[in-house]
Structures are given as structure tokens and as C-alpha cells.
Structure 1
Amino acid sequence: MEIELGIQNVARPVNVSSDQSREDVSKVITEALEADKTIDLTDDKGRRILIPAKALGYAIVGSETRHAVGFGAL
């Protein structure tokens, strides 16, 4: 799943690809914002992404659907 995070005072968004479900990612972000703690996500390569909740401007949690790559008949 693709996740786009907008960080305050940073011109470009942080894009993360994760194996976590949409519900898990949303829960982590929501709980961190409510408790004013660090958002702790893991990408699909096992790296941890830590973002202070105060610094988050927005989060776009993308589709879990894998799209086919290549040419195909429509």
C-alpha cells in the first residue's frame, strides 16, 4: 500500500510503500495524533519511519489493490 505523508515545513511529501493494511496504518496514525506521540510505521523493506505527530500536515493512505503492469486488452 502506498502512503503519502505531508510534513510541516518540508516542501516534498514523504512517500512510503508498506505491507501493513489500511486499517493498521490508519490506527497507528490516529493513535499517535490523539496521544501526541511519534508516528511509527514500517515500510515494505523493513525500515522504520518515525515522525513526530506535531509535524504531520496530512496523510493519504492509498489503495491496497495491486495494479497490473504491462499492456493488456481493455
Structure 2
Amino acid sequence: MRTSSPTTSYPVPDAVSCRVLEVSQSWFYKWLGRAPTLRDERRADLTLAIQEVFDRSGDTYGSPRVHIELRERG
């Protein structure tokens, strides 16, 4: 029995998480092993862009300024 999935850092057994979320363990493991979706890829790209803007600002920009920078990029 796994005590936590590779995507989390909490020591909660997968079986307990699945029960709470009302999903089957087989569905969970199928979901866990799936290829990234287009949405997942867009979110990863956005996360990298946000980090880049924040780093270039010397870690001083807040979310409003980061948002403006990203909007200016298109």
C-alpha cells in the first residue's frame, strides 16, 4: 500500500484520499500515469513565464505587476 502519491508531500494513504474524493483507486492510478494534457502543458508554460518575470524583477513584483508584464507579452 502506498502512503502517499509521488505528486504530493503529505503522508496520506492513497486509499484514504480516494475515499474522501469519492473516486476509485483504479481511476486514480490511471489518472496518475496519464500523459500531460494541453491544459497541463499551458499551466506549466504559464508557471515558467511567471517565475521568469518575477526573477527578472529581482523578486520584487507582486501579482498585479507580473500580470501586466505577461499581458504585454501577449
| TM-score where L is the length of structure 1 | 0.24
User: Greater helix share, 1 or 2?
Assistant: 2
Q: Larger RCO: Structure 1 or Structure 2 (Cα < 8 Å, ≥ 6 residues apart)?
A: 1
| TM-score where L is the length of structure 2 | 0.24
| Larger CA Rg, structure 1 vs 2 | 2
User: Greater strand share, 1 or 2?
Assistant: 1
